[in-house]
């Protein structure tokens, strides 16, 4: 039996002029060899091809039969860099799976294939599908997330950087705790109570690593209200890095950062790793950040056999550090890259795809593609015009009931929205109608801490005996701890005038309790105030507390503004609070289904959480300029274009029915009620591509109904 070394040497044989030379055999000089050949007559000896050398390989699968022409071209691509632009619903995963199978079928050692995905589940599912196609050979493929692959490589090669194989990986909670410990040791807690909280600090440092941007740039661009703490944040960042290295601790970001350092600083190791993974495939490439893209380039440096699959039109995760530029600049990073496009859609009807094509057509920078399908028939998408938010909610609930009667399962219906708070009013309406739903991509609004805080103030006005709400309200007052709050609640529920208990309080919390008493007592005596005005009064009192308790208060203010909008349609504060309490605060799932029914639920989801999913019917709420695109995206062209792509993603989730709804009357805190217009992304869309529905109240002809009895 030959040694492994001998086997490798025999594989390096060369054929020249019909004579076989071993790379290891002793040979004479070229001149002597040439003279000897001239003196002797040679005759040909035919070397028969082995099966592996046959021009037409016998594959396990008939790839041309199993794939459409565009998929087949990508799957059978030659070596070298390749970019696969996979339109929505075009069979991206199928193409990747068959590409891995094809490489193995072509004789590539499975252990030389690296499949990078964003979730472990995706990797496992893909490799299971490869195994179903070609058998157990797929088990030797290296597949996983960026972080899992980095972990494996650092444990093998990390000593080059001083990292021992037994290092510990910290989860986000561990990382935050270490930051908090170091923050206290540096005395930053004592200097200023408004110093960022540990979770905010961890987020800032993570963005620095993943976007390859400096601390100052991140803080000034995204956390400007902490600009005064730049020097301290830099000092803490250095202490955090030092503490991790000293204790052999790595956070999630370190895994990628240190792998980059390893591939950059140690050339022999980089070549070893690159030669090990001679074929690199990357899923959802449009979602990569700068650090991940740099890692791919370094891993492929010795061969450039890298195929990335993604869709520039679905690049929507800039808030996580992903950048649209990665997929657009791939051809310049890998000169000679071949571009393949997957345009046949297997999900939606042509009317829906025609609308999607029109929406993305106006994007100034894109890979041009045109989605098409063999499902030519289907209803036109509908643009639904409502008087206000509640009319919008009532339409969605009513239409869902109609679709259920027509045989569309509730589980095949989704309501999508740009921001989590856009569904608040709808949640109330669905609960009122007895329609079960589950919410994804954001917590149920009455579970959000700041919303619960504001509502607690209103609840004690309606019911001064509400001990639970009183406890929450009191704990927001500076100087009040759990014991103090408990004692105050016990005293207040025993007297007719609970506000007097607060006014009589002294000590460190006395001033804050007196201010609280003033606000709540005035509300309890103002019977002429509308629910909207009462919400405003509490909002003005609570705003300084909100800013003090939450680093991301600018985002939370939007939630409270929306709470104001919901209150407008209620005649009394009691009815407003009662409706908000209809659905239990259980976070992502809301169980409002009456006993005896099946467990089907309508899906409520942010568009970000809906990416990759599909439903028979999709409702898209708040397709209003300023809401979608968000007013916060108007600062830069890049942000605005990501909003366009977000709309494209939402539209392409629908298989047959699509409803885009927008209220005409929109509340603005500074200006009051404003007339709205549909999203600017629909301005250029031909009216022939959708039908327009104008909602009218029953019995009102063509007049808008702004008020109604919610309990009718």
Catalytic residue annotation: 92-93, 283-284, 314, 653
d(CA 507, CA 60): 82
C-beta of residue 697 within 8 angstroms of C-beta of residue 708: yes
What are the residue ranges of helices labelled H in 158-222?
172-185, 188-191, 198-211, 215-222
Parallel, antiparallel, or unpaired: how do β-strands 615-620 and 413-417 relate?
parallel
The DSSP call for residue 700 is S
Q: Using alpha carbons, list the distances in angstroms from residue 90 to 82, 351, 614, 644.
A: 17, 16, 13, 20
The long-range contacts involving 595-598, CB below 8 angstroms and separated by at least 24 positions, are: 597/436
d(CA 72, CA 113): 19
C-beta of residue 662 within 8 angstroms of C-beta of residue 384: yes
d(CA 395, CA 426): 10
C-beta of residue 461 within 8 angstroms of C-beta of residue 617: no
d(CA 382, CA 379): 9
Nearest residue to 94 via CA among 121, 71, 69, 60: 71
d(CA 566, CA 562): 6
Nearest residue to 446 via CA among 319, 311, 315, 587: 587
Residue 709 tokens read as 């009895």
Residue-wise DSSP of 36-96: HHHTS-----PPPPPGGG-SS---SS-HHHHS-HHHHHHHTPPSS-EEEEE-TTS-HHHHH
Backbone angles phi, psi at 590, to 5 degrees: -120, 110
User: Which residues 6+ apart lie within 8 Å of 251 measured at CB?
Assistant: 169, 170, 172, 174, 175, 244
Nearest residue to 664 via CA among 632, 698, 705: 705
d(CA 608, CA 613): 10
d(CA 120, CA 310): 18
Q: Is the dihedral of CA 231, 232, 234, 238 positive or negative?
A: positive
Nearest residue to 259 via CA among 292, 220, 305: 292
Nearest residue to 407 via CA among 146, 182, 617: 617
User: Which residues 6+ apart lie within 8 Å of 67 measured at CB?
Assistant: 75, 94, 95, 98
C-beta of residue 390 within 8 angstroms of C-beta of residue 569: yes
Quickly count: other Cβ atoms within 10 Å of residue 575's Cβ: 14
Q: Give me the residue label for tokens 């004690």.
A: 460
The DSSP call for residue 666 is E
Q: Using alpha carbons, list the distances in angstroms from residue 358 to 111, 198, 479, 684, 687.
A: 43, 44, 58, 8, 11
Q: Give me the residue label for tokens 């972080």.
A: 147
CA dihedral of residues 174, 177, 183, 186 (deg, nearest 10)? -80
Q: How many residues does the chain have?
A: 712
d(CA 627, CA 181): 40
C-beta of residue 98 within 8 angstroms of C-beta of residue 75: yes
Quickly count: other Cβ atoms within 10 Å of residue 568's Cβ: 20
């Amino acid at each position: 039996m030959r040694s492994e070394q001998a086997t490798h040497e025999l594989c390096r044989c060369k054929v020249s002029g019909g004579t076989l030379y071993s790379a290891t055999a002793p040979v004479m000089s070229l001149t002597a060899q040439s003279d000897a050949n001239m003196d002797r007559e040679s005759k040909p000896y035919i070397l028969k091809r082995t099966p592996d050398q046959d021009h037409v390989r016998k594959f396990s699968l008939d790839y041309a039969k199993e794939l459409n022409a565009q998929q087949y071209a990508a799957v059978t691509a030659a070596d070298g860099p390749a970019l696969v632009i996979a339109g929505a619903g075009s069979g991206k995963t199928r193409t990747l799976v068959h590409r891995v199978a094809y490489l193995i079928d072509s004789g590539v050692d499975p252990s030389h294939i690296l499949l990078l995905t964003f979730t472990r589940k995706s990797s496992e599912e893909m490799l299971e599908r490869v195994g179903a196609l070609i058998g157990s050979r797929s088990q030797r493929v290296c597949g996983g997330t960026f972080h899992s692959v980095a972990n494996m490589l650092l444990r093998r090669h990390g000593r080059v950087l001083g990292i021992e194989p037994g290092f510990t990986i910290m989860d986000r909670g561990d990382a935050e705790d270490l930051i908090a410990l170091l923050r206290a040791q540096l005395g930053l807690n004592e200097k200023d109570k408004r110093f960022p909280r540990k979770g905010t600090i961890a987020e800032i440092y993570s963005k620095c690593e993943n976007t390859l941007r400096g601390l100052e740039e991140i803080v000034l661009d995204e956390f400007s209200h902490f600009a005064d703490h730049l020097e301290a944040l830099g000092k803490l960042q250095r202490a955090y890095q030092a503490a991790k290295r000293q204790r052999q601790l790595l956070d999630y970001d370190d895994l990628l950062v240190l792998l980059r350092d390893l591939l950059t600083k140690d050339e022999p190791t980089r070549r070893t790793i690159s030669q090990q993974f001679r074929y690199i495939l990357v899923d959802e490439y449009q979602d990569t950040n700068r650090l991940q893209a740099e890692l791919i380039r370094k891993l492929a440096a010795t061969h450039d056999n890298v195929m990335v699959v993604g869709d520039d039109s679905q690049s929507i995760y800039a808030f996580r550090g992903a950048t649209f530029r990665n997929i657009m600049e791939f051809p310049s990073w890998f000169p000679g890259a071949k571009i393949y496009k997957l345009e046949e859609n297997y999900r939606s009807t042509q009317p829906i795809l025609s609308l999607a094509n029109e929406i993305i057509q106006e994007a100034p920078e894109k890979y041009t593609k045109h989605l098409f399908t063999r499902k030519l028939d289907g209803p036109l998408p509908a643009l639904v015009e409502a008087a206000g938010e509640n009319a919008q909610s009532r339409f969605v609930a009513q239409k869902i009931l109609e679709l259920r009667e027509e045989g569309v399962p509730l589980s095949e219906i989704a309501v999508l929205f740009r921001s989590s708070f856009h569904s608040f009013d709808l949640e109330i309406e669905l609960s009122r109608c007895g329609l079960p739903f589950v919410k994804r991509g954001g917590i149920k609004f009455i579970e959000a801490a700041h919303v619960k805080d504001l509502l607690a103030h209103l609840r004690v006005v309606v019911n001064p005996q509400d001990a639970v709400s009183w406890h929450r309200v009191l704990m927001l007052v500076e100087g009040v701890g759990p014991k103090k709050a408990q004692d105050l609640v016990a005293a207040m529920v025993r007297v007719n005038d609970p506000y007097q208990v607060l006014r009589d309080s002294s000590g460190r919390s006395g001033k804050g309790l007196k201010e609280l008493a003033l606000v709540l007592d005035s509300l309890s005596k103002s019977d002429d105030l509308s629910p909207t005005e009462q919400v405003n009064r509490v909002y003005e009192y609570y705003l300084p507390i909100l800013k003090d308790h939450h680093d991301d208060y600018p985002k939370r203010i939007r939630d409270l503004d929306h709470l104001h909008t919901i209150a407008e349609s209620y005649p009394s504060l009691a009815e407003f609070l009662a409706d908000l309490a209809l659905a239990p605060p259980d976070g992502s799932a809301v169980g409002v289904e009456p006993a005896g029914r099946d467990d089907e639920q309508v899906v409520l989801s942010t568009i970000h959480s809906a990416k990759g999913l599909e439903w028979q019917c999709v409702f898209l709420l708040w397709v209003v300029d300023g809401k979608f695109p968000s007013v916060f995206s108007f600062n830069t062209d890049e942000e605005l274009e990501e909003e366009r792509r977000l709309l494209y993603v939402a539209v392409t989730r629908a298989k047959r029915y699509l409803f885009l709804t927008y209220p005409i009357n929109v509340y603005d805190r500074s200006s009051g009620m404003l007339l709205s217009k549909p999203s600017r992304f629909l301005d250029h869309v031909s009216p022939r591509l959708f039908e327009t529905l104008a909602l009218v109240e029953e019995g009102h002809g063509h007049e808008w109904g702004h008020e109604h009895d919610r309990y009718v």
